[in-house]
């Protein structure tokens, strides 16, 4: 992808350099930055206070939208919409918009595909195509805000891809989307979810951001974890826990552990007991998730009664736990399912 032509990836300083090199005063850069990152225009001609000649220069050198919306599916059972978006080089990703009572939450992808290989996940079935740029992550948020007309106030980086396998661009995205000159989303309203790349958890802790860290744990011990997550062969649960404790010490922030319940794999009382001893005394919260069945994968979700028992067991043992509300069940809202269906139907 030709970064040079991608204006959304420019920081305000980079934009100022371009504008002043072209012989215009620096304040023009701020105006343009505001049109791009606050007013979210999709066309140069909407920048009404920017001189026509400068607009012409810019439109010759740059495009505004790195991703376009290809398809939108809206759930009939709740207020979830799933978007398929396409990049300039033909990559397909998914983003989800969820309207909660407290505002709009957007789930974005961080890579085109994924190479982590989790056995229950559709995103990884075709491997990794490439990383997304920070501007492509911004563009998912901007496209949704433009399309719905509703301000985005929560972002979860839990779509396709492993954010810590694309660390620098994800960091740049977080900095730009929380920038007071941009969309100005509160760091507290951002969650990054990782399958547990422990080294990167330390790096992320050292950034000292007020962003929530979520860990896809899905098992109380390494033996079970290895059967569903190949990454468990690289980092043990002990290493991940150590990194999480460091994150909590550095940021004072509660860590979320995601635990997808898979029938007969990780949903026994012994598993719940294992999880309790692992997390006891830690500043954390467990998010229990019913598995969204993926056609190509032969795992099934635990029964809802079983998930409720698991939740009760954790709560009784003083571990904060809630069951994540399943949203968009009718629109393939689990990671990578819609993209996979789209790629299959278009013969890829
Ligand atoms: N790679 C990151 C973020 C993307 S996945 C991570 O692993 O955290 C977001 C969450 O959805 C993860 O917890 C993932 O394990 C979970 N997930 C993936 N496929 C799922 C499915 N079919 N049903 C339920 N949860 C799933």
pLDDT of residue 334: 62
Residues 151 and 30 in one domain: no
Long-range own/partner contacts, residues 12-17 (CB < 8 A, 24 or more apart): 12/179, 12/181
Residues 160 and 299 in one domain: yes
Query: The domain spanning residue 273 has which CATH number?
Result: 3.20.20.70
- Measured distance between the N- and C-terminal CA atoms of the chain, rounded to whole angstroms: 20
Q: Which atom of ligand 1 is nearest to the CA of 294?
A: 22
Q: Kindly state if the Cβ of 44 falls inside 6 Å of ligand 1.
A: no
Residues 8 and 91 in one domain: no
105-127 CB burial, b ≥16 within 10 A, e <16: bbbbbbbbbbebebebbbbbbbe
Measured distance CA(107)–CA(103) in Å, rounded: 13
pLDDT in tens, the chain (348 residues): 444 589 999 999 999 999 999 999 999 999 999 999 999 999 999 999 999 999 999 999 999 999 999 999 998 777 899 999 999 999 999 999 998 877 899 999 999 999 999 999 999 999 999 999 999 999 999 999 999 999 999 999 999 999 999 999 999 999 999 999 999 999 999 999 999 999 999 999 999 999 999 999 999 999 999 999 999 999 999 999 999 999 999 999 999 999 999 999 999 999 999 999 999 999 999 999 999 888 777 889 999 999 999 999 999 999 999 998 766 667 665 667 778 777 877 765
Residues 148 and 38 in one domain: no
Q: What H or E segment, with its residue span, contains residue 72?
A: strand 67-74
Question: Hey, which of 113, 116, 121, 167 would you mutate to test ligand 1's pocket, going by the most ligand atoms within 8 Å of its Cβ?
Answer: 121
Single out the catalytic residue among 94, 136, 169, 258: 94
Do 32 and 14 touch, CB atoms closer than 8 A?
Answer: no
pLDDT of residue 62: 95
Query: The domain spanning residue 17 has which CATH number?
Result: 1.10.150.530
Q: Which atom of ligand 1 is nearest to the CA of 297?
A: 22
Residues 196 and 159 in one domain: yes
**Using CA positions, which residue lies closest to atom 15 of ligand 1?**
216
Measured distance CA(5)–CA(59) in Å, rounded: 10
Q: Kindly state if the Cβ of 287 falls inside 6 Å of ligand 1.
A: no
Residues 31 and 137 in one domain: no
Measured distance CA(244)–CA(240) in Å, rounded: 6
Residues 196 and 282 in one domain: yes
Residues 310 and 293 in one domain: yes
Is residue 71 part of the annotated active site? The answer reads no
Residues 164 and 55 in one domain: no
Query: Domain limits at 198?
Result: 67-345
Query: The pTM is what?
Result: 0.94
pLDDT of residue 347: 60
Domain count, the chain: 2
Q: Kindly state if the Cβ of 334 falls inside 6 Å of ligand 1.
A: yes
Measured in Å, residue 143 CA sits from the centre of ligand 1 at: 23
Strand partners, 237: none
Is residue 94 part of the annotated active site? The answer reads yes
Residues 231 and 170 in one domain: yes
Phi, psi of 230 (to 5 degrees): -55, -30
Tell me which residue of 272, 263, 192 sits closest to 228, measured CA to CA. Answer: 263
Do 5 and 62 touch, CB atoms closer than 8 A?
Answer: yes
Tell me which residue of 114, 126, 341, 116 sits closest to 228, measured CA to CA. Answer: 116
Single out the residue in 16, 35, 61 at which a domain terminates: 61
Residues 33 and 131 in one domain: no
Residues 54 and 186 in one domain: no
| DSSP helix, strand, coil percent of the chain (3-state; round to 5) | 40, 20, 35
**Using CA positions, which residue lies closest to atom 8 of ligand 1?**
194
Measured distance CA(337)–CA(90) in Å, rounded: 18
pLDDT of residue 4: 53
Q: What is the DSSP string of 248-312?
A: HHHH-PPEEEEEEEBTTTS-SHHHHHHHHHHHTTSSEEEEEEE----TTS---BPPHHHHHHHHH
Q: Which atom of ligand 1 is nearest to the CA of 161?
A: 1
Measured in Å, residue 224 CA sits from the centre of ligand 1 at: 16
Measured distance CA(121)–CA(123) in Å, rounded: 6
Measured distance CA(107)–CA(158) in Å, rounded: 6
Q: Kindly state if the Cβ of 335 falls inside 6 Å of ligand 1.
A: yes
**Using CA positions, which residue lies closest to atom 10 of ligand 1?**
158
Single out the residue in 61, 88, 107 at which a domain terminates: 61
Single out the residue in 61, 91, 109 at which a domain terminates: 61
Helices 167-177 and 198-206 sit at what angle, rounded to 10 degrees? 30
pLDDT of residue 293: 84
Long-range own/partner contacts, residues 88-91 (CB < 8 A, 24 or more apart): 88/1, 88/2, 88/63, 89/1, 91/129, 91/130
């Amino acid at each position: 992808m030709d970064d040079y032509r991608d204006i959304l990836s420019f920081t305000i300083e980079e934009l100022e350099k371009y504008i002043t090199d072209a012989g215009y005063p620096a304040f023009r850069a701020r105006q343009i930055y505001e049109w791009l990152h606050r007013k979210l225009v999709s066309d140069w001609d909407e920048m009404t206070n920017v001189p026509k000649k400068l607009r012409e220069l810019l439109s010759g050198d740059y495009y505004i939208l790195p991703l376009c919306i290809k398809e939108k599916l809206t759930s009939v059972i709740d207020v979830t919409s799933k978007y398929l978006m396409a990049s300039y080089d033909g990559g397909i990703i998914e983003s989800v918009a969820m309207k909660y009572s407290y505002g709009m939450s957007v789930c974005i992808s961080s890579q085109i595909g994924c190479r982590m290989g989790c056995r229950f996940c559709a995103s990884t079935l075709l491997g990794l195509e490439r990383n997304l740029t920070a501007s492509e992550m911004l563009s998912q948020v901007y496209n949704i805000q433009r399309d719905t007309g509703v301000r985005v106030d929560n972002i979860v980086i839990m779509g396709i891809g492993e954010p810590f396998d694309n660390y620098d661009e994800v960091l740049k995205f977080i900095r730009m989307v929380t920038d007071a000159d941009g969309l100005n989303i509160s760091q507290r309203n951002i969650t990054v979810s990782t399958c547990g790349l422990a080294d990167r958890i330390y790096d992320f802790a050292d950034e000292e951001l007020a962003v929530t860290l979520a860990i896809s744990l899905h098992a109380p011990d390494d033996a079970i974890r290895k059967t569903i997550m190949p990454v468990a062969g690289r980092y043990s649960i002990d290493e991940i826990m150590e990194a999480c404790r460091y994150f909590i010490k550095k940021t004072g922030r509660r860590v979320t552990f995601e635990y997808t319940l898979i029938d007969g794999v990780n949903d026994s009382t012994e598993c719940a007991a294992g999880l309790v001893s692992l997390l006891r005394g830690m500043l954390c919260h467990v998010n229990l998730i019913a598995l969204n069945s993926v056609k190509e994968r032969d795992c099934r979700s635990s029964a809802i009664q079983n998930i409720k028992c698991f939740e009760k067991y954790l709560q009784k043992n003083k571990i904060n736990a809630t069951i994540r509300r399943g949203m968009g069940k009718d629109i393939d809202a689990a990671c990578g399912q819609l993209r996979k269906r789209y790629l299959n139907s278009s013969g890829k």
